[in-house]
Amino acid sequence: MGGRSRNNRKEKRAGRLGVSVMVFLLLAVMSSQIVKLHAKEQEYQVRENALQEQLEAEQRREANLQEYEEYIKTDAYVEDVAKSKLGLVYADEIVFKEDKAQAE
């Protein structure tokens, strides 16, 4: 009978050791996965911040374009273009031109 109890003890010890090794391996794998996920989360956070900034910049650009669109529909825009690009003036306006010979 003494041999059986020794075998049982050895089997129990081997079983405990096997379970301990499995638990340790499981913890090691889970820890590495947690570290990988944390790193990936930080990458995604940086990317999200960059995309958020890009979105805000595009929204500001859209607002500026809408303002410009409203401006080009006004008479003031037409007048500015006529004066600057075409050189047109009102009949009652006085225009002073620089003498190019004296400017040089």
Mean confidence (pLDDT) of the chain: 89
pLDDT for residue 38:
97
Contact 19, 27 (CB under 8 A): no
What tokens appear for 85 in the block?
């690009």
pLDDT cut 70: percent of the chain above it: 92
Distance of alpha carbon 90 from alpha carbon 79, whole angstroms = 10
| Per-residue pLDDT at 100 exceeds 80 | no
Q: Which of 79, 97, 75 is nearest to 88 (CA)?
A: 79
Using the predicted structure, report yes or no on whether residue 42 has a pLDDT greater than 90: yes
Sketch the domain layout of the chain as residue ranges: 2-89
Does the model's pTM come out above 0.85?
A: no
Q: For the residues of 74-85, what is the DSSP string, one character each?
A: SHHHHHHHHHHT
Q: Are 3 and 11 in contact (CB under 8 A)?
A: no
CA 22 – CA 44 distance, rounded (Å): 33
Contact 73/81 with Cβ under 8 angstroms?
no
pLDDT at position 34 over 70: yes
